[in-house]
């Protein structure tokens, strides 16, 4: 048992202190707090620890409203006041940019929305009960309510928690922010009583899918529809859609402001086309590129759904498509996965020399890595932050 004072936070929101000259990362601890800690794991360069007793607490500490906090592996900074969460995320991005990019880049204040009830998609695991895995384990924590998920998702969770879920590995529940419709996807490992699920859920859901090496609709509509701004988007069982619909509008509005008035625009890693279609009214033409063929299918459905005729989509790897595509864009928007831009893609983007690049990132570290390459060819204007994932250490840039 060691008594320590927490010095600062790492980028995942864990407290940092020194014990016998060795760095220790402490769960659920805030700067300036005096705590007694237990060392849980010793590595060569650092230790992991948990708090056994709080001696002096930070004024920024709050009692988490979720009864499962600290057990399930979802939220990880709910012990911070919401205002302090924003300060943490802002300072994290600022620290990463200054440390790894080393340019005097403006980082704008974070834009935030609802702290709870914001998720329109949640995956629940099943092992005799339904819930979430404990962080970094396969130990299942049974839950009957998730504070960051929508009311509609929690309503279906309440029904499922009372049902026989034998032969089900996990359940994905998706809801529409706009019309409150719900889709349930049952990921199965063996045959289930499908009629039982239809009977129990039919009054509360729009769609039920069974997934066993492929999605199969067993009840209701093929997809649900949600809106971002004035545009409608289909949500299929496997399609990507921003999990925080209201903050997606804020994010896309920032992107539109940065794009300005573009004659020709390339939208790389376009997914189901949400960003490119959102920008269509300020562009003469848009080409979206995405590797996932089912996402491209949904992108074309979304294009027709919104009667947009100046956008087209190409299925393929972004870097390879750019190498073969004879197209000179004025602006390129990229929204890559957490791993950031691959080498081929970033080289092709630079080779096209657009007047402007707008980079949407869910990981500030890979963003900083890519900015280090791009800054040799471009001036970096600024970074804006959107709190897409309250109560977690993640932040969208």
Task: Give the pLDDT confidence of 55-91 residue by residue, as tens digits.
Answer: 999 999 999 999 999 898 789 999 999 999 999 999 9
Question: Does residue 136 carry a pLDDT above 80?
Answer: no
pLDDT value for 195: 97
pLDDT value for 135: 80
Mean predicted confidence (pLDDT) in 202-216: 96
* Sign, Cα dihedral of 153, 157, 158, 163: positive
337-372 pLDDT, tens digit per residue, is 999 999 999 999 999 999 999 999 999 999 999 999
| Mean pLDDT taken over the chain | 95
* Residue 72 known to be catalytic: no
- Name the catalytic one among 38, 263, 362, 397: 362
pLDDT value for 228: 97
Query: For residues 255 and 369, what is the distance between their CA atoms, to the nearest angstrom?
Result: 21
Residues 6+ apart with CB under 8 A from 266: 286, 287, 289, 322, 327, 329, 331, 332, 333, 352, 354
DSSP-based three-state secondary structure for 358: strand
Question: Does residue 307 carry a pLDDT above 80?
Answer: yes
Give the end-to-end CA distance of the chain in Å, rounded to a whole number. Answer: 39
């Amino acid at each position: 048992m060691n008594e320590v004072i927490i010095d600062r936070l790492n980028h995942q929101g864990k407290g940092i202190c020194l014990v016998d000259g060795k760095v220790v990362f402490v769960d659920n601890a805030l700067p300036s707090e005096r705590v007694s800690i237990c060392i849980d794991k010793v590595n060569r360069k650092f230790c992991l620890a948990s708090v056994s007793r709080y001696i002096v607490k930070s004024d920024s500490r709050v009692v988490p409203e979720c009864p499962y906090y600290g057990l399930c592996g979802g939220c990880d900074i709910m012990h911070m006041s919401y205002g302090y969460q924003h300060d943490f995320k802002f300072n994290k991005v600022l620290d990463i940019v200054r440390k790894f990019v080393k340019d005097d880049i403006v980082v704008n204040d974070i834009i935030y929305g609802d702290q709870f009830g914001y998720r329109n998609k949640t995956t629940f695991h099943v092992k005799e009960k339904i819930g979430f895995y404990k962080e970094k384990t396969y130990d299942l924590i049974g839950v009957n309510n998730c504070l960051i998920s929508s009311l509609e998702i929690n309503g279906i969770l309440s029904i499922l928690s009372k049902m026989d879920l034998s032969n089900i590995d996990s359940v994905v529940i998706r809801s529409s922010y706009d019309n409150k419709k719900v889709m349930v996807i049952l990921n199965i490992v063996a045959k289930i009583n499908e009629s039982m699920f239809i009977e129990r859920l039919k009054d509360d859901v729009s769609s039920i899918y069974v997934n066993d090496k492929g999605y199969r609709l067993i009840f209701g509509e093929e997809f649900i529809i949600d809106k971002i701004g004035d545009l409608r988007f289909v949500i299929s069982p496997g399609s990507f859609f921003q999990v925080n619909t209201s903050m997606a509008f804020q994010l896309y509005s920032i992107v539109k402001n940065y794009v300005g008035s573009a004659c020709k625009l390339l939208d790389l890693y376009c997914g189901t086309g949400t960003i490119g279609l959102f920008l269509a009214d300020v562009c003469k033409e848009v080409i979206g590129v995405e590797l996932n063929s089912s996402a491209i299918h949904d992108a074309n459905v979304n294009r027709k759904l919104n009667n947009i005729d100046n956008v087209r989509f190409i299925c393929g790897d972004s870097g390879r498509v750019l190498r073969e595509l004879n197209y000179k864009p004025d602006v390129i928007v990229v929204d890559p996965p957490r791993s950031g831009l691959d080498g081929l893609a970033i080289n092709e983007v630079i080779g096209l020399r657009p007047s402007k690049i707008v980079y949407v990132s869910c990981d500030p570290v890979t963003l900083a890595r890519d900015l280090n390459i791009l800054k040799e060819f471009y001036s970096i204007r600024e970074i804006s932050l959107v709190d897409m994932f309250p109560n977690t250490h993640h932040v969208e840039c």
